[in-house]
Structure 1
Amino acid sequence: MNIIFKGTQVLSYKDAKASNYKFLFLFSIFFSLFSVTSFSQVKDTVPVNRLDEVLVSAIRVTSKTPVTFSNMDKKEIKFRNLGQDIPILMNYLPSVVTTSDAGGGIGYTGIRVRGSDATRVNVTINGIPYNDSESQGTFWVNMPDFASSVESLQLQRGVGTSTNGSGAFGASLNMLTDNYASKPTGEISSSYGSFNSNKNSVKFSTGLLNDHFELAGRLSTIQSDGFVDRASSDLKSYFLQGTYIGKTTLIKALVFGGTQQTYQSWNGIDAQTLAENRTYNSAGEYTDEAGNIRYYDNETDNYNQDHYQLHWNESLSDKWSTNLAFHYTKGKGYFENYKNDEPVEGYGSIQSTKMVENDNGDLVPGTDLIRQKWLDNDFYGTTFSVKYKEEKLDVIVGGGWNKYEGDHFGKVIWARNSGPTELGDHYYDDFSSKTDGNIFAKANYQITQQLSFYGDLQYRNVTYKANGADTGLVDDSFNFFNPKAGLNFEINQKNNLYFSYARANREPNRTDYEGGNVKPEKLNDFELGWRFNSDKFQLNSNFYYMGYRDQLILTGRLDDVGAPIRSNTDKSYRLGFEVDATIAVSEKFILRPNFTLSSNKNVDLAVEGQNYGTTKIAYSPEIIAGNIIVYSPIQNLHISLLQKFVGEQFMNNIELPEAKLADYFVNDLNVSFEIKPKSIFKSIMITGLVNNFLDKKYVSNGYMWDVYPYYYPQAGINFLAGLTLKF
């Protein structure tokens, strides 16, 4: 979602643009006709992967680059792609911890990498920034079923390489959308499971028309009641991609987006309720005039987001290639709340003779009311890269310029005692803008047959302006220089050592300005790794040290609209050891274990004048471990046991005993069987997923309200089953 606080996305289904779908329909007709009649056949085309990878080659890495990373491709994604969000599908990657507000992996989900939350994970789609410009977060609920249109993804841990968008302070995630298909294809997929969760999607591809053009698309719907009471999700999405393949040219035009309506479930529950009623949800609860407890039926978050991308990739020669992209994202929507006995101050001209208590315990005029908080935003810009590659030298020069503009406003749509107000009146209006430009140059140089050097220099300029009552008048500009360098040493064909240093700087987000924290953060990241690769055994291991100055650390508290409150700490660090492996025990058994051991500390932490000494950084477990055991007794049958252990962690930085989250160990079972008939269908895939089959009662996330903990409980045993037909 493109809004500045956790629950602030917004657009009702009534506004879900029918014009988008008309545009998709007309575009598909035009594209098909144009492709059939316009171009002669060209047989001598550049290989598909070479051209398509140009889209992300400026920000992706290989094993020859001294950067710590993990990859996932479409084949791995498809076995568990039954409606859950991308973070949940990434749960078993090294150093990753995921959570779900509704408890079942559908709706609002979150991810942390090495203890760093989603605002510090830089996300790009085909090299285009996806993080919300103001909050810096990523809201996967706005792109339902996007995993069905992802060709591959790469998660770089640490600072990684220079990329477009916000600075990576814990990790960067880049996704490449579907490659083109040479032959026509179709796909129908449906799944159903616990909490009345269901997903239905349709995909198609025309294949290459005249050996040059392909049109592909997808429509999806996802619904779920959620594990938590009333934590329902009603999600719709579309994806349309037109591709032109020439002798040395790849052009992609993409239109994708989604409409979501979710019943709010971000309040969490206190310790007593956790013990007595894990599914309780306080959102929408109010007391009517007769003293009865009721729940408002439209305590919802509503948002619509549409993305437009145009990519032009050109292979100028065997040594030179270029990528130029333009993008535009439109987001609009609101979240709605019933406020019981709400003080009327700050709500415009609303008046009331009823007296209620405010947060200070004073009696002030108040009333029951229903409010909407809106965001109407635009995000647009361009990215580019030029690549030169010869036998010993690989150089990429690139960058981007992006602009965000956001209107924030609030409406009171009903009040028990309204006074002299009009429907549609705004009780606040403010505007914000953010300009983000960067340029980088990076190179890999093969010094000797075994030793290569990697260098990466980035300059980034950020300008942020806001005039909200919560932020005050903001007009800040930041200039960041981010150097990176490393060495890669190939001991032999199987063994590889690397060492790298990376510098990152990062600006505050909107909520930080609300809290008065305006210092940018600085990070020095050191990575030392060893990679081993043989036919039956692959091992990646690395040590990392991430030293921060003025890090904005999560306090565990939330503001009045659910946004995490952060504060600067002078010095802090993350020190860790990561290992992941793939072991082919036999033709039928594959093991894929990983674990992370880390120490994450604030040094001489001072909070409100009190020094707490060296403390653990919030939401940073010292042990994270995962394992996938794959058993294939016969061809096309895969049985996977997926295991995840997350050690204990604190929800604030002063190690308050009440702020501790207990460790948990969760086991999932995934079964898939593919049938390949000789007629009608190319493939029939049956998939089953039993999550948490040992029915572990666990909590993966929470926050502190002063000294009181609040928790987000996750679902016990639950299942999803799906059927995919390809033709």
Structure 2
Amino acid sequence: MKNVMLLAMLFVAAFAQAQVNVTGVVTNKTTGRPVTGATVTIQNFGTHTDNNGRYYLRLRDAGTYPLMVSFIGYTTYLYPTSFTTGDNTINVSLEETGLFVKPVEISSLRAGATAPFTKSSLSAEDIKKQNLGQDLPMLLNQLPGVVTNSDAGAGIGYTNFRVRGSDVTRVNITVNGIPINDAESQGVFFVNMPDFASSVNSIQLQRGVGTSTNGAGAFGASLNLSTNTFNDKAYAEVDNSYGSFNSWKHTVKAGTGLLNDHFTVDARLSKITSDGYIDRATSDLQSFYTSAAYIAKKTAVRLNVFGGKEKTYQAWNGIDSATLADNRRYNSSGTEKPGEPYDNETDNYQQTHYQLSLNQGITDNLNFNVALHLTRGKGYYESYYGDDSYTEFGLPNPVVNGTEITETDMVRQLWLDNYFYGGVFSINHSMKKFNWSLGGGWNKYDGDHYGKIIWAQNGGIDKDHKWYDLDATKTDVNVYWKGEYSPIEKLSVFADMQYRHVGYDINGFRKRPNVEQHNKYNFFNPKVGVTYHVNNFQYAYASFAIGNKEPNRDDFEAGTTQTPEHETLRNLEAGYVYTSQRVGLQANVYYMNYKNQLVLTGKINDVGAYTRSNIPESYRLGLELQGSVKLGSYVDVAANIALSRNKIKDFTEYIDDYDNGGQKEVNHGETDISFSPDVTGGYTFTVKPVKGLNIDLLGKYVSRQYLDNTSIKRRSLDGYYVQDVRINYLVPQKLVKELGLQLMLNNVFNKMYVPNGYTFSYIEGGQLITGNGYLPMAGFNVMGGVHIGF
């Protein structure tokens, strides 16, 4: 035994001695100050510099390899460097490009590296290694507290995500500082932005209220997407992927690099198609992205134009429990048509975004950003309906061969035609002890809702007959000031104040055209926080923030006597962060206290519709832990877990009573908030057996989710654990700049799980009858891809 231990110790000592350790500091060549966040790459091993500009890498073998150090706003450092066994110290000084290429909107909206808010980030490298065609929400799956789902079951088409139990309508989402949440539903439909991840160079997800931002109030999280990257060298890339369910992705990207020392142009074209896991849940998605910029020493002007066009077969109906057991891929959409399902039961939408921004440096410490934007959206979803009555559409019953016809099969389209436009601005000032930003925006939405009947079996209806045509307008004005001050060396204090005004006018609803709503809101959203820097590797923080949010369009269908109140969230966050070159740890606790949160109670309002109702008190209390460690050159491990308690303090359910008419009230006392699992967790175990090859084992666990707010187990989704395998291989060759192979093995244990659904209950024949709807995900499936860079 002693001999075995001695051999093991000798092996470990020899292994440690054989390591090639590389450390150093990256600084600004002119000022000598450390450069935080610079990318350092040696022999396909990469890392980023910490707050003091330091980096650490461990190589497999000694030798001479290219050392590349890059950061936005600096000329890339790339030189062959000799590395010997043992410790190597290589310091690098980066020279500024002399061009104003730092995205100002990032510094004004995102939480800084040590700001007192809970956040996670994904870099371009993180996005690239998993971007095989699935919609952007699926790429967030391994972040703490995130749960994803897909109507079509495979991540292409309609996809969504929740953060700490809050759905996307409560997540503020911006692209380059410009809001993209739909003004009325307040959601974001990523199906309208297919393959947008291929143009995103960084993502920050703030959990909780977070810092002030543009657009709808952050009530669960803020997601900031940035595309304004700078490429000083010309490039071209081709990505092709194919996988299960006949899923294809084709992407072509190219950029000019810097032309005449001032101009750049970048462009992308993408096409994604899939048959979907669910029957007939097809997707045909097309998108483009273009960006042209003029960049000088203190000025940057950029025009972004991007858009998407989607046609997806509807797959949002879900299935009941019996069908889930026997035929979980069944799709009821289109089956009202006799015989074969209607072949065009589809959702069709096209959306184009225009962004024109000016970044202007005034001094080394002062700059500002102004941006104008326009989003143009138009589309419809088409459905086949059997035996619809003429009177429902305000039409007389036709007489055919002397017989009055009261019903007919028909095909109808529900249209949305809208414009969203406005401007945002920010002024940013940075000093050694005091940084501040002043910003805001004015945004206007004009939307037209109308319906057309394009075919009727029994006649009596003119083709393209409009049975409703209703518009809505919404104005959103906000202004904020945020500042961070360091009174002593290790302490910084943060303050943030936002005023937001919303005016929302709705001139009727499809089912209730005579119900109009005209509402105005004035919100004050303050935030305060403190950060204590223990040393260069660790800090602790605490913050308190208040967020207010107006109701969604559907909530206003309640009628004028039951207009819902706005919601208020009081959010307390506290955490600890440790970051070194090999180890990263973050622990945080949060308390989110709601006043008048809008939830479904089953109650019918005064116009006979089921809409959300305000409940007086509810809360979320949680603990989130995440960590990562580099175990030498061959193994990396990252993991996170979120534990939470999500409660409504006193919940009353309203159940339709078909026996006696009206509704029956049932008080459940304290209950769980729907779709809020007590436990979520994930891990990524990375092995690098040979040069250029990364094998990632990814696991995701989500505990039980309740479909409504009653905490009744039969109205819930079972918890699940899903295991994926991701393989990325950079092929050594000299024909092209980069040749990469990717393989995603999703759900390798073929888990039959369901992350999303709905429930309904009623009383009939003296019994309480409950039905659940489930939207299942695919079992084992595969996606492979090839990346070629020139």
TM-score by structure 2 length? 0.82
Aligned to 2:682: 626
Q: Deviation string for 1:142-181 (max 9, x for gaps)?
A: 0000000001000000000000000011000000005121
Q: Which one of 584, 603, 625 corresponds to residue 630 of structure 2?
A: 584
Residues 120-135 of structure 1: pairs in structure 2 closer than 5 A: 120-135=170-185
Residues 350 and 48 of structure 1: is their aligned pair in 2 closer, same or farther, counting only changes over 3 Å? farther
Q: Distance in 2 between matches of 1:45 and 1:588?
A: 33
Aligned to 1:315: 361
Residues 253 and 617 of structure 1: is their aligned pair in 2 closer, same or farther, counting only changes over 3 Å? same
Q: Establish whether residue 659 from structure 1 lines up as the match of residue 722 from structure 2.
A: no
Aligned to 1:453: 493
Q: Distance in 2 between matches of 1:167 and 1:545?
A: 18
Q: Establish whether residue 640 from structure 1 lines up as the match of residue 680 from structure 2.
A: no
Structure 2 residue identity aligned to 1:207: G
Q: Distance in 2 between matches of 1:179 and 1:557?
A: 49
Q: Distance in 1 between matches of 2:180 and 2:117?
A: 22
Q: Establish whether residue 721 from structure 1 lines up as the match of residue 784 from structure 2.
A: yes
Give the gaps of 5 or more residues in structure 2: 1-74, 77-93, 655-664, 762-769
- What is the DSSP-based 3-state SS (H/G/I as helix, E as strand, rest coil) of the residue aligned with 1:697? coil
Aligned to 1:389: 430
Asked if structure 2 preserves the Cα contact closer than 8 Å seen for 1:77 and 1:89, the reply is yes
Asked if structure 1 preserves the Cα contact closer than 8 Å seen for 2:100 and 2:300, the reply is no
Q: Which one of 642, 649, 652 corresponds to residue 606 of structure 1?
A: 652
Residues 223 and 721 of structure 1: is their aligned pair in 2 closer, same or farther, counting only changes over 3 Å? same
Q: Establish whether residue 157 from structure 1 lines up as the match of residue 207 from structure 2.
A: yes
Structure 2 residue identity aligned to 1:255: V
- What is the DSSP-based 3-state SS (H/G/I as helix, E as strand, rest coil) of the residue aligned with 1:75? helix
Matched length: 669
The Cα RMSD (Å) is 2.1
| Deviation of the 1:557 alpha carbon | 11
Aligned to 1:434: 474
Q: Distance in 1 between matches of 2:337 and 2:241?
A: 39
Q: Establish whether residue 596 from structure 1 lines up as the match of residue 636 from structure 2.
A: no
Aligned to 1:87: 137
- What is the DSSP-based 3-state SS (H/G/I as helix, E as strand, rest coil) of the residue aligned with 1:503? strand
Aligned to 1:463: 503
Aligned to 1:36: none
Q: Distance in 2 between matches of 1:338 and 1:589?
A: 54
Q: Distance in 1 between matches of 2:381 and 2:625?
A: 42
Give the gaps of 5 or more residues in structure 1: 1-41, 355-362
Q: Establish whether residue 371 from structure 1 lines up as the match of residue 412 from structure 2.
A: yes
Asked if structure 1 preserves the Cα contact closer than 8 Å seen for 2:595 and 2:615, the reply is yes
Asked if structure 1 preserves the Cα contact closer than 8 Å seen for 2:478 and 2:499, the reply is yes
Aligned to 2:381: 335
Q: Distance in 1 between matches of 2:522 and 2:384?
A: 43
Q: Which one of 210, 213, 217 corresponds to residue 167 of structure 1?
A: 217
Residues 31-430 of structure 1: pairs in structure 2 closer than 5 A: 51-288=101-338, 293-349=339-395, 351=397, 365-419=406-460, 421-430=461-470
Aligned to 2:36: none
Q: Distance in 1 between matches of 2:363 and 2:131?
A: 39
Residues 48 and 296 of structure 1: is their aligned pair in 2 closer, same or farther, counting only changes over 3 Å? farther
Structure 2 residue identity aligned to 1:632: K
Segment of structure 1 superposing worse, 712-721 or 517-526: 517-526
Q: Distance in 2 between matches of 1:49 and 1:642?
A: 40
Q: Which one of 730, 736, 740 corresponds to residue 674 of structure 1?
A: 730
Q: Which one of 476, 483, 486 corresponds to residue 443 of structure 1?
A: 483
Residues 544 and 556 of structure 1: is their aligned pair in 2 closer, same or farther, counting only changes over 3 Å? farther
Q: Deviation string for 1:169-210 (max 9, x for gaps)?
A: 100000000512111100111000000000001100011001
Identity of aligned residues (%): 46
Residues 558 and 69 of structure 1: is their aligned pair in 2 closer, same or farther, counting only changes over 3 Å? farther
Q: Distance in 1 between matches of 2:268 and 2:628?
A: 33
Q: Distance in 2 between matches of 1:634 and 1:274?
A: 43
**Using CA pairs below 8 Å that are at least 6 residues apart, which structure has the higher relative contact order?**
1
Asked if structure 2 preserves the Cα contact closer than 8 Å seen for 1:368 and 1:417, the reply is yes
Residues 449 and 221 of structure 1: is their aligned pair in 2 closer, same or farther, counting only changes over 3 Å? same
Asked if structure 2 preserves the Cα contact closer than 8 Å seen for 1:351 and 1:418, the reply is no
Q: Distance in 2 between matches of 1:105 and 1:64?
A: 33
Aligned to 1:12: none
Q: Deviation string for 1:4-28 (max 9, x for gaps)?
A: xxxxxxxxxxxxxxxxxxxxxxxxx
Structure 1 residue identity aligned to 2:313: Y
Q: Distance in 2 between matches of 1:537 and 1:131?
A: 36
| Deviation of the 1:533 alpha carbon | 1.2
Aligned to 1:24: none
Q: Distance in 2 between matches of 1:281 and 1:596?
A: 34
- What is the DSSP-based 3-state SS (H/G/I as helix, E as strand, rest coil) of the residue aligned with 1:500? strand
| Deviation of the 1:416 alpha carbon | 1.3
Q: Deviation string for 1:432-454 (max 9, x for gaps)?
A: 00000000000000011111100
Structure 2 residue identity aligned to 1:151: N
Asked if structure 1 preserves the Cα contact closer than 8 Å seen for 2:707 and 2:757, the reply is yes
| Deviation of the 1:513 alpha carbon | 0.8
Asked if structure 2 preserves the Cα contact closer than 8 Å seen for 1:55 and 1:323, the reply is yes
Residues 606 and 353 of structure 1: is their aligned pair in 2 closer, same or farther, counting only changes over 3 Å? farther
Residues 301 and 590 of structure 1: is their aligned pair in 2 closer, same or farther, counting only changes over 3 Å? same
Q: Distance in 2 between matches of 1:194 and 1:123?
A: 30
Q: Distance in 1 between matches of 2:600 and 2:122?
A: 29
| Deviation of the 1:657 alpha carbon | 2.8
Asked if structure 2 preserves the Cα contact closer than 8 Å seen for 1:342 and 1:368, the reply is yes
Q: Distance in 2 between matches of 1:48 and 1:557?
A: 62
Q: Distance in 2 between matches of 1:155 and 1:511?
A: 27
- What is the DSSP-based 3-state SS (H/G/I as helix, E as strand, rest coil) of the residue aligned with 2:393? coil
- What is the DSSP-based 3-state SS (H/G/I as helix, E as strand, rest coil) of the residue aligned with 1:57? helix
- What is the DSSP-based 3-state SS (H/G/I as helix, E as strand, rest coil) of the residue aligned with 1:433? strand
Q: Deviation string for 1:338-394 (max 9, x for gaps)?
A: 00122333324263579xxxxxxxx99322111000010000000000001111000
Asked if structure 2 preserves the Cα contact closer than 8 Å seen for 1:70 and 1:93, the reply is yes
Residues 92 and 554 of structure 1: is their aligned pair in 2 closer, same or farther, counting only changes over 3 Å? farther
| Deviation of the 1:568 alpha carbon | 1.6
Asked if structure 2 preserves the Cα contact closer than 8 Å seen for 1:658 and 1:708, the reply is no
Residues 353 and 111 of structure 1: is their aligned pair in 2 closer, same or farther, counting only changes over 3 Å? farther
- What is the DSSP-based 3-state SS (H/G/I as helix, E as strand, rest coil) of the residue aligned with 1:665? strand
Q: Distance in 2 between matches of 1:605 and 1:557?
A: 12
Aligned to 1:689: 744
Aligned to 2:536: 493
Segment of structure 1 superposing worse, 73-82 or 469-478: 469-478
Asked if structure 1 preserves the Cα contact closer than 8 Å seen for 2:564 and 2:613, the reply is no
Asked if structure 2 preserves the Cα contact closer than 8 Å seen for 1:100 and 1:110, the reply is yes
Aligned to 1:17: none
| Deviation of the 1:634 alpha carbon | 1.9
Residues 661 and 352 of structure 1: is their aligned pair in 2 closer, same or farther, counting only changes over 3 Å? farther
Q: Deviation string for 1:490-533 (max 9, x for gaps)?
A: 11222211000000000001011124552100000000100011
Q: Distance in 2 between matches of 1:692 and 1:193?
A: 14
Q: Distance in 1 between matches of 2:519 and 2:192?
A: 29
Q: Distance in 2 between matches of 1:48 and 1:529?
A: 38
Residues 350 and 146 of structure 1: is their aligned pair in 2 closer, same or farther, counting only changes over 3 Å? farther
- What is the DSSP-based 3-state SS (H/G/I as helix, E as strand, rest coil) of the residue aligned with 2:670? strand
Structure 2 residue identity aligned to 1:270: D
- What is the DSSP-based 3-state SS (H/G/I as helix, E as strand, rest coil) of the residue aligned with 1:148? helix
Q: Distance in 2 between matches of 1:643 and 1:591?
A: 12
- What is the DSSP-based 3-state SS (H/G/I as helix, E as strand, rest coil) of the residue aligned with 1:210? coil
| Structure with the greater alpha carbon radius of gyration | 2
Asked if structure 2 preserves the Cα contact closer than 8 Å seen for 1:526 and 1:545, the reply is yes
Q: Distance in 1 between matches of 2:710 and 2:398?
A: 42
Q: Distance in 2 between matches of 1:406 and 1:557?
A: 28
Asked if structure 1 preserves the Cα contact closer than 8 Å seen for 2:100 and 2:299, the reply is no
Q: Distance in 2 between matches of 1:242 and 1:566?
A: 44
